[in-house]
Amino acid sequence: MAVQTALEYAGRPIRDILPEAVLREGRLVPLRPPPGLPALEDARAALLGAAGRSDTPDRMPSLEEILKRHYRGGTVSVIVDDHTRTNHHTRLLLPPLVDHLLAGGVRRENLRFVIATGTHRAPLDKEYPGILGSLWPAWKDRVVVHSDKKDLAKVGTLEDGATVEVNATVYGSEIVIPLNDLEFHYFAGVAGGPKQICPGVSSAQIIRREHLKMFGELGFAPNVESGTYDGNPVFEYKQKIVGKFLEEMRRKGSWVYAITAVMDPAPRLVSIAGGDLLETHRRAIERLCSVYVATVPKPADIVIISARQTGINLYQSGKAYNAAKKAVQKGGWILLLSECKDGFGNDEFKNLMKVSAPIFRELDGRLASARPPERARLIDEHTDRAMRETQRIVVADFKIGKQKPVDLLDVLKHVGYGHLCIIQDGLGEDEMASVPLTYVGRKGDPPEARLRAWIAEREREGKPTYVLMDDPNYLVKIG
């Protein structure tokens, strides 16, 4: 008999999810985890290796060589992720990197830690230990928090006339070290690497221009999806922006040396490389696939997925819906386990969902009296109308967070109205009414009871197949 996967909800596991009949009849579709990579147990040695040996020697000497032969005593900026990322790699690798820089002749007063906030708010004091780890608060005076609206430097102009502006501290540095790790991203394809420049330390104007590349005529443009980078208009435009930055830094005699890491779900360091920012990123993608690409032999009728660490709010939980979409057949069901203790988590997302709410209320009214042959047409018409109205507002005045409603509606269109479900306890009644989700059970009831009752209802309707997903960071492929 197949072994079921335990799914996390609010920090604790839910076990024995499926009825025995599902297992006995072979209706649990196996989610095959990625093969994995051996851990690099000595993080300091791994970091020193990446600093002492460039993985792209034809394009970039090692950091050690740059310090010995080329460094003139100017500012050295290490770009690190902000509070919205886990920063496991930052806390692990930044202390030995700082030691290496100091030993290599960089003076403390010339070091800067630039927080790559993009368009996010600045970190709170309580969030800095999660970014800088043991270096906080001793190095507090060396921290520069990026702003997308001020203290910017003009880098150059792209072929389409767009002006590239980046953080003035970064641009004015003699050496820039993007300390980054990779993860799959639902519209940029693969995050990390060039993402630390754009959106990480870029202006609001160029970030907006880059992000708008995600939209097609209705919904996301072709190839705008997790794991796709070649042909992805967002990723390709990002490379043009970052390429212009790298070109200008080289022209004025500055160095950009990337330290690019891959962490597995444990999280353990499994890969690290140093060298050219764009090239180390591309080479590391294969390593990322080894630890985060899972496979299923076929799409299932139902995917039940745990949001796990992204379940803090509905905004972050969108990542889990996006991951589940790749494992479920069109017209199937997705059930998300996400506590959403912080509610929506993003005001732009919350406010924009109100645009589609009356359209779906109208749909509910029409479905109540519709004959079965009319239902599919009504659902398609109203879902498309909701996407079109939402996207029109997004494109006209784009802000970070506004892409999430389009993404959610795209997943809804794939499974169908009423088939995008959630077990949660953090959304208020008004918030629940603004999102076209199916809310399973009553808030406050045991999640196990709500989950099993929902499954029992699906079992009464037929004999569906299931996939259980315990990690929203997986990129699922069929095969």
pLDDT per position as a tens digit, 427-453: 999 999 999 999 999 999 999 999 999
Q: Determine the Cα–Cα distance for residues 124 and 328; give it in Å rounded to an integer.
A: 39
Q: Which of 257, 276, 291 is the last residue of a domain?
A: 291
Q: Determine the Cα–Cα distance for residues 56 and 280; give it in Å rounded to an integer.
A: 7
Q: Determine the Cα–Cα distance for residues 232 and 238; give it in Å rounded to an integer.
A: 10
pLDDT tens for each residue of 197-228: 999 999 999 999 999 999 999 999 999 999 99
* Low-confidence residues of the chain: pLDDT under 50: none
Same domain, 226 and 302: no
Tokens of 349: 């997302």
234 inside domain: yes
Tokens of 58: 């034809």
Residue 2, pLDDT score: 62
Q: Which residues pair with 315 in a beta bridge?
A: none
Smallest CA-to-CA distance from 79 within 205, 236, 282, 260 is with 260
Tokens of 51: 């600093």
The secondary structure element, H or E, covering residue 331 is strand 328-337
Q: Determine the Cα–Cα distance for residues 272 and 277; give it in Å rounded to an integer.
A: 13
How many domains does the chain divide into? 2
Same domain, 281 and 302: no
Tokens of 451: 């989950």
Same domain, 158 and 271: yes
82 inside domain: yes
What is the Rg, in whole angstroms, of the alpha carbon atoms belonging to the chain?
24
* First vs last C-alpha separation in the chain: 22
Same domain, 273 and 180: yes
- List C-alpha distances in Å: 385 to 194, 379, 416: 35, 10, 14
CATH number of the domain enclosing 312: 3.90.226.30
Same domain, 231 and 306: no
The secondary structure element, H or E, covering residue 261 is strand 258-263
Residue corresponding to tokens 């290599």: 104
Residues 6+ apart with CB under 8 A from 464: 27, 300, 301, 302, 332, 333, 458
Q: Determine the Cα–Cα distance for residues 463 and 445; give it in Å rounded to an integer.
A: 27
| Cis status of the peptide bond prior to 137, with omega within 30 of 0 | yes
Same domain, 266 and 405: no
36 inside domain: no
Residue 269, pLDDT score: 98
Q: Determine the Cα–Cα distance for residues 155 and 164; give it in Å rounded to an integer.
A: 5
Q: Determine the Cα–Cα distance for residues 442 and 449; give it in Å rounded to an integer.
A: 10
35 inside domain: no
Same domain, 151 and 262: yes
What's the domain range around 146?
Answer: 43-291
Q: Determine the Cα–Cα distance for residues 278 and 242; give it in Å rounded to an integer.
A: 8
Q: Which residues pair with 153 in a beta bridge?
A: 166
pTM equals 0.90
Same domain, 301 and 185: no
Q: Which of 224, 256, 291 is the last residue of a domain?
A: 291
Residue 398, pLDDT score: 86
